[in-house]
Amino acid sequence: MTLKHVTGLLCAAAMSLVLAAGARAEDKVVKIGVILPMSGGTASIGAHAKAALEVAMNIINNAHPELGNLPLAKNTGLAGLGGAKIDAVFADNQGNPATGQNQALRLITEDKVAAVFGAYQSGITLTSSAIAEKYGIPYLNSESVAANLTERGFKWFFRTTPIATDFAKIYVDFLADMKAAGAKTDAIALVHDNTEYGTSVANTISAAFKEKGQPVALDVAYPVNATDVQGQVLQLKDKKPDVIIMISYTSDAILFAKTMQSLDYKPAILLADDAGYSDPSFIKAVGKISQGVFNRSSWVVGPPGSASAVIADMYKKKSGEEMDDTVARQMQGFFVLADAIDRAGSTDPAKVQAALKATELKADQLMIGYKGVKFDDKGQNILAAGAIIQLQDGENYVSVWPKANAEKPPVLPYKGW
Amino acid sequence: MSFVLVQVIVGGLLLGAVYALFSSGLTLVWGMMNIVNFAHGDFVMLGMYVAYVVYTLMGGGPLLGAPLATLVLATVGVVVYFALIRDIMKGPMLAQILGTFGLALLLRYSVFWWFGANFLSMPQNIVGGTYAFAGLRIEASRLLAGVVALLVTLGLHLLLTRTSLGSKMLAVAEDQTAAQLMGIRPDTMQAIAWGIAAGATGLAGALIANFFYIVPTVGETLGIVAFVTVSLGGFGSVPGALVAGLLIGVIESLSGYLIGAIYKDIVVYVLFLLFLWFRPQGLMGKM
C-alpha cells in the first residue's frame, strides 16, 4: 500500500466520522430545516443569517427573562412541547433555485424537519416552498419580497416580511414628501438585476409610480453578478434621472458604487431597496463612497435595555457584525415559527399550520418595527411595516422617515464620496 | 460619434486588457500541456487576497502587493504542479478536469473558512484618483492594470518566442520524448510553466483588487470570462488572448450601453459561437 492509498483511506474514514456525528440522535428536539445561501455570490448573507438564527435558538432554548415580552424567551425550550429544544438543520442553496428545491426535498424527506425556513433569494423561496407545499410541511419565509410568492394559493406558505407592494407605497410617499420639501423627483430610474427579486420588485415599484401618474422614466436591467457596469452607469449619466432606485444584491451594489465614483456620476437622490445595501460588508467596502444613500428597513435598535438592543448586542458578540435589517427580519421570522410550534404543542404539520394561521403577535412582542404579525388567507403578514434609513456618515444607517420615528432629518442631495 | 460612446469604448479597452491579463496564464498552461485549469479563476481570487493581506497587515500598496502576489502564486503554481498536475496528467481526461475542479473548490472554501464570506474592498487611496482629460474619465487603478496587462502579455510572448527557456518549454509542448532526448527535463519545464502562469494570474488578481470587490467566490465570476477569452484567442496563444480580451471588453461595453446590459452577454456569446463556427481554432490558435 502506497502513501497515497493510506491517505485516501484516512480521508474516507474522516468523512464517515463527520457524517456519523451529524446523524447523532437527540431526544426532545424540534428540527427546523433552514435553507440559506451559504456559498455563491450572496454567501455573506447566509453567514450572517446563520449567526442570527443561532442567537435566536439560544434565546428560545435557554431562559432569557431580560427580554421582556418576547415569546419563548422567559423559559428554557418550548413550554408547549415539554421544554423541547429547537434545532436548525442548515442547508446551502448555493444561490441556485434548483439546489434550493433539492435541499427542501432532502430536509423534508430525510431529516424529517417539522417546518422549513428560508430561503433569502425570492427565486429560491419560490422553488423550495413548492416542495414544502407538495409534502404538506409549513414553510416560513422572513425576507423574500417578490409579491407573487403569496399569490400562488399555497396553504403551507407564510411570510412575515413586508413585501414589494408595501415598499413601493413607502417609496411613493417618501418621494412625495421629498418633493414637498423642495427636491426634484420627476424623472425616476429603476436599476435592477434579472433575478426573480430584481425583476418582480422593479415591476411592482414601476406599477405603483404609474398609478400615481408618474411613470418610471428609465429602466436599467443588468445580469446578476456582473463583471462590469460602466455601460449602465454611463446610460444613467446620459439620461440624468432625478432619482435612482437600486434593486441589487451585494456584489453588484459594490460594483455600482465603485463605478459611479470612477465615472463621477451622482443622482440627486439614490434610494436602495434593501438587499445588498443592508449587507454590513457593503458598508465596510464602499460606505465611504455611498454617503447619503437612502435604504429601507424594518429594523431600528431601541434604547439600551430594550429587547431589540439586547438582541443586537448578542448578535454582535456572535458574529462580530452590526445587526442589519435583513438578519433582523430573519430572526423575527424564526421567532414567529417557533412560537407557532410552541402553541401547536406538537410537530404535527397540520397543527403547526393551524397555529401559524392563528398567530396574533402585538408590536411589543416583536424585536422589529412591524405593527404586529397576523397572516391573511394568502399567508402574508398584514401588519408588516418599514421605514426609510439613510447612510449619512458612510458608516451607520439612521432612520430619517417617516418623521414620527426619525432619528435625524433626511439630507439631500446624495453626497457620494 | 457621440462623446459618451468614446468613454464606453475606452472603458471597454481597459476592461479588455485586464481580461487579457488574467487569461494569459490559462492559455499558457493549455499550450504547454493541454490541461484546462478550472482553478484558474480561483488563482485570480488568491492574488486578490494576497494584495488585501499585504495592505491590511503591512500597510503596503500595489508596489508591494503586486510583486508579492506574483511570487506567492508562482510558488502555489509550482507546488500544485508537483502535488497534483504531474500525476493527473497520466490519468484519463476526466481525472484532469475533475482534479483541477476539485482544486478550485479546495482553494475557494479554504479562503471562505479563513476570511469568511464577507465582501472586502481595497481602500480608495491605494491607487487613487481618476484622470480626466478632454472630458474622458480614466480610473488610475484600471489604467495601471491595463498597462501592466499589455506589458506582461508582451513579456510572456517574448519569453516563449525569443529565449532559450521559451524554446525548451515549446519543445516539451511539441514532443516530450524528443525534448527528453535533447536533455530537456519535461518535469522542470512544465513546473516552470505552471509557476509563470500562476504568477501572472496572481499579478492580475492583485491589480484587479484595486477596483473590484474581493470575495471567495469572485473566481467563479472571473473564471468564465477567462475561458471565453482563451478560446476566442486560440488555446495556447498568448497574443491571441490579448486581442480576444480587448475585443470582448469592447463588445461587452458597447452592447451593454447601446442595447442594454441584460442582452450584452447574448451579444458576446452569439458573436463568440459564430466566430468559432468559422474558425474553431480561435483568432491565433493552431489547428
* Domain range list for chain A: 23-162+302-373, 165-297+387-405
Contact status, residue A179 vs residue A268, Cβ threshold 8 Å: no
Q: Which residues pair with A245 in a beta bridge?
A: A190, A271
Whole-number Cα distances in Å, A378 to A151, A164, A375? 7, 15, 8
- pLDDT tier for residue A159 given thresholds of 50, 70 and 90: very high
Quick one: pLDDT at residue A23? 43
The amino acid sitting at A285 is A
Percent of chain B scored above 90 by pLDDT?
27
Does B164 have pLDDT greater than 80?
Answer: yes
- pLDDT tier for residue A21 given thresholds of 50, 70 and 90: very low
Please tell me which residue of chain A has the smallest CA distance to B131.
A262
- pLDDT tier for residue A399 given thresholds of 50, 70 and 90: confident
Cβ separation A44–B215 shorter than 8 A:
yes
Please tell me which residue of chain B has the smallest CA distance to A46.
B117
Does B105 have pLDDT greater than 70?
Answer: yes
Chain B residues close to A288, C-beta within 8 Å = 124
User: What is the pLDDT of chain A when averaged over all its residues?
Assistant: 89
Quick one: pLDDT at residue A27? 55
Does A238 have pLDDT greater than 50?
Answer: yes
Cα–Cα nearest to B73, from B234, B267, B251, B207: B207
Cα–Cα nearest to B261, from B271, B251, B270, B273: B251
**CA separation for the pair A201, A148 (Å, rounded):** 10
Does A7 have pLDDT greater than 80?
Answer: no
- pLDDT tier for residue B260 given thresholds of 50, 70 and 90: confident
Quick one: pLDDT at residue A17? 52
Quick one: pLDDT at residue B171? 87
Quick one: pLDDT at residue B62? 73
Q: A93-102, A221-230, B28-37, B95-104: which range is least confident on average? A: B28-37
Q: So what CATH class is A165-297+387-405? A: alpha beta
What value does the mean pLDDT take over residues B98-108?
Answer: 92
Cα–Cα nearest to B211, from B264, B142, B165, B269: B142
Percent of chain A scored above 90 by pLDDT?
64
The amino acid sitting at A95 is G
Cβ separation B119–A230 shorter than 8 A:
no
Does A271 have pLDDT greater than 50?
Answer: yes
Going by CATH, does the domain composed of A23-162+302-373 fall within 3.40.50.2300? yes
What value does the mean pLDDT take over residues A294-301?
Answer: 87
ipTM over 0.85: no
For the record, the C-alpha cell of A90 comes out as: 442548515
Query: Rounded to a whole number, what is the distance in Å from the CA of B109 to chain A's nearest CA?
Result: 9
User: What is the pLDDT of chain B when averaged over all its residues?
Assistant: 87
Residues of B with CB under 8 A from a CB of A: 4, 7-8, 11-12, 15, 109, 112, 116-121, 124, 130, 132, 137, 139, 142, 211-213, 215-217, 220-222, 225, 252-257, 260-262, 264-265
DSSP string, A171-202: HHHHHHHHHHTT---SSEEEEEESSHHHHHHH
To 10 degrees, the CA torsion angle through A379, A385, A391, A396?
-80
Does A357 have pLDDT greater than 70?
Answer: yes
Chain A residues close to B142, C-beta within 8 Å = 262
A217 Cβ contact partners less than 8 Å away, ≥ 6 residues apart: A186, A187, A188, A189, A239, A241
- pLDDT tier for residue A10 given thresholds of 50, 70 and 90: low
Quick one: pLDDT at residue B46? 96
Does A26 have pLDDT greater than 80?
Answer: no
The amino acid sitting at A301 is V
Q: A195-204, A296-305, A384-393, B194-203: which range is least confident on average? A: A296-305
A317 Cβ contact partners less than 8 Å away, ≥ 6 residues apart: none
Does B63 have pLDDT greater than 80?
Answer: no
**CA separation for the pair B19, B223 (Å, rounded):** 10
pLDDT, tens digit, for every residue of B12-39?
A: 998 898 888 888 888 888 887 788 889 9
The amino acid sitting at B194 is W
Does A117 have pLDDT greater than 80?
Answer: yes
**CA separation for the pair B7, B19 (Å, rounded):** 18
Query: Rounded to a whole number, what is the distance in Å from the CA of B44 to chain A's nearest CA?
Result: 14
**CA separation for the pair A33, A36 (Å, rounded):** 10
Cβ separation A289–B262 shorter than 8 A:
no
- pLDDT tier for residue B53 given thresholds of 50, 70 and 90: very high
Candidates A231, A251, A279; nearest CB to B261: A231
Quick one: pLDDT at residue A13? 57
Quick one: pLDDT at residue A40? 79
Quick one: pLDDT at residue A252? 93
Whole-number Cα distances in Å, B219 to A80, A227, B66, B76? 48, 11, 18, 16
What value does the mean pLDDT take over residues A124-141?
Answer: 95
Quick one: pLDDT at residue A203? 93
Candidates A43, A232, A417; nearest CB to B256: A232
Whole-number Cα distances in Å, B132 to A231, A297, B138, B147? 18, 38, 6, 17
Strands (E) across A59-151 are located at 85-92, 115-118, 139-141
Quick one: pLDDT at residue A24? 40
**CA separation for the pair A269, A255 (Å, rounded):** 18
What value does the mean pLDDT take over residues A169-178?
Answer: 92
Residues of A with CB under 8 A from a CB of B: 38-41, 43-44, 46-47, 194, 220-223, 225-232, 234-235, 237-238, 250-251, 254-255, 258, 261-264, 279-282, 284-286, 288-289, 417
Q: A170-179, A240-249, B90-99: which range is least confident on average? A: B90-99
Give the number of A-B residue pairs with CB atoms closer than 8 Å: 124
> Pick the residue with more confidence: B127 or A112?
A112
- pLDDT tier for residue B127 given thresholds of 50, 70 and 90: confident
**CA separation for the pair B28, B24 (Å, rounded):** 6
Q: A79-93, A235-249, B137-151, B187-201: which range is least confident on average? A: B137-151
Contact status, residue A34 vs residue A89, Cβ threshold 8 Å: yes
Same fold, A23-162+302-373 and A165-297+387-405: yes
pLDDT, tens digit, for every residue of A174-194?
A: 999 999 999 999 999 999 998
